[in-house]
Amino acid sequence: MANFPETPAFTGFNKPGRFEADILDLEVEGEVPPHLDGAFYRVQPDPQFPPRLDDDIAFNGDGQVTMFRFKDGKVSMKHRWVHTDKWKLEREAGKALFGAYRNPLTDDESVKGRIRGTANTNVIMHAGRLLALKEDSPAVVMDPNTLETVGYTKFGGRMTGETFTAHPKIDPETGDMIAFGYAAKGICTRDIVYYEISPEGELKRELWFELPYYCMMHDFGMTRDYAVFHVVPSIGSLERLEKGLPHFGFDTTLPVYLGVVPRREGATAEDIRWFKAPNLFASHVMNAYNEGTRIHFDTPEAEGNMFPFFPDVHGAPFDPMKAQSHLTRWTVDLASNSDEFESRERLSEMVGEFPRIDDRYAGRKYRHGWMLVVDMSKPVDLKGGSSTGLLMNTLGHVDLEAGEDKSWWVGPTSSLQEPCFIPRSADSPEGDGYIVALANRLDVALTDLLLFDALAIEKGPIATIKLPLRLRFGLHGNWAPGEWLEAAANRSEPIAA
């Protein structure tokens, strides 16, 4: 019997959903603009079976992708598991075979050496294919219209790394997908491989290099001329795995590094510059850009660890106050002889994470950003309360040109999932468009999809798309325009892995 542990990771709003769904023509309050044509994809971890061990962390659930298809003022949803090798092996066995998060030593003998990825972190369309991503494994290709899983891709068979990041970027000028893999020569190795993938989905270039120390390399920055890697001491080691400790733990004694890798053809590991900053925490990158040799890298920065389930390696208790992050601009200059940062400048007073931009400005000087915000001045009215009292209860908009923040509070009984920007049209100005974000209705265990005017979020949603069910907490997602979906549906060849 599939009984899940009675732990916070598996109860209440976190109870596994385990369903697939197709719902045509969802209920809408307000109006969905009739010209909005495309799909918002997002992914959530949702364990197919109870964990092999006593408990588990949210990051270890099997990926389930949700597609919200917008067309003619209506929205339909499709919700499917990603058929990873892990999912298929466990489906066949009728139970979990893979153990703890990123610890193969806890797996059943029968799955030794198999790809462990859960494809639960991001989902993005590129080269006519939908990619479901987990940073410890290769990308999984799905059909963007049917959400059928095709299989793992090595981008034309050429990728030599074992892993592919969940945070690739698409260069808006070239259409190339810029990405990397870490632990790319095996679990806990310091080897990184940088990838550039053509608009046709073929790997064009790899550049291998080593990190100062092994750590969670969850995201990175892309500029027109550089790939920028922040090395933050959420460290890991085989020794930790042997001891049964969580894969990662935060080490407050190590410095932060920023590695700048030239994107130009022919660059080698010798061309990489490393800059150093004091110990701090940063995970996601809002955007980065370079003005000549000067590089700006915008990230929600916190004083301390943001992940209570990857605790302090020296035993310090988790400090929710130190986990609060503020969007911060890191600047380094390749023309400088110093290995220090030029500056670290706070860009917003909002406490926020899950930063997003108008992706047509990825890697370029930009004006607008959106993120989830914790507004502690607002009441939380939930039976039992949330465990920390901290909820992503607000959507924030930073206008870096006006130096102005705007926000919208979702109310005392809801929280939000990561926003995603949708351009009004392919050539509309920066920020002219919509924001979508899921709202977790924690009091009634239901989910709504909210649609905002991106430059007037403070007015609240222009449409609330009501789901008759609960989606679990998700991670990341992306928009794909209708033409991409139609081109994928009308292709003559089947989608290749």
List of residues contacting ligand V55 (CB under 6 A): 45, 59, 120-121, 135, 218, 283, 475
CA 130/CA 65 separation, integer angstroms: 10
CB of 264 to ligand V55, least distance (A): 30
Quick one: which of 66, 64, 65, 115 has its CA closest to 89? 115
Closest to ligand V55 by CB, 191 or 333? 191
* Neighbour-count burial for 147-184, b at 16+ CB within 10 Å, e otherwise: bebbebbebeeebebbbbbbbbbbbeeeebbbbbbbbb
CB of 135 to ligand V55, least distance (A): 6
Closest to ligand V55 by CB, 213 or 409? 213
CB of 221 to ligand V55, least distance (A): 15
Closest to ligand V55 by CB, 58 or 457? 58
Closest to ligand V55 by CB, 190 or 466? 190
Rounded to whole angstroms, what are the CA distances from 260 to 181, 282, 319?
Answer: 16, 17, 31
Closest to ligand V55 by CB, 165 or 223? 165
Closest to ligand V55 by CB, 69 or 86? 86
Tokens of 131: 């990619």
One-letter amino acid for residue 215 of the chain: C
CB of 121 to ligand V55, least distance (A): 4
One-letter amino acid for residue 269 of the chain: A
**Is the CA virtual torsion 347, 375, 388, 48 positive or negative?**
negative
Which residue has the CB atom at the shortest distance from ligand V55?
A: 59
CB of 306 to ligand V55, least distance (A): 8
Rounded to whole angstroms, what are the CA distances from 268 to 177, 182, 213, 262, 264?
Answer: 19, 17, 19, 8, 9
> What 3-state DSSP class applies to 487?
helix
> Per this entry, what is the length of the chain?
497
Tell me whether residue 367 is exposed, middle or buried, using C-beta atoms within 10 angstroms of its C-beta: 0 to 12, 13 to 18, 19 or more.
middle
Tokens of 377: 């001045």
Closest to ligand V55 by CB, 153 or 283? 283
CB of 60 to ligand V55, least distance (A): 8
> What 3-state DSSP class applies to 313?
coil
Closest to ligand V55 by CB, 45 or 236? 45
Phi, psi of 123 (to 5 degrees): -145, 125
CB of 428 to ligand V55, least distance (A): 30
CB of 126 to ligand V55, least distance (A): 20
CB of 389 to ligand V55, least distance (A): 21
CA 366/CA 221 separation, integer angstroms: 14
Name the one residue in this structure whose structure tokens are 């150093």.
276
CA 261/CA 228 separation, integer angstroms: 6
Closest to ligand V55 by CB, 90 or 430? 90
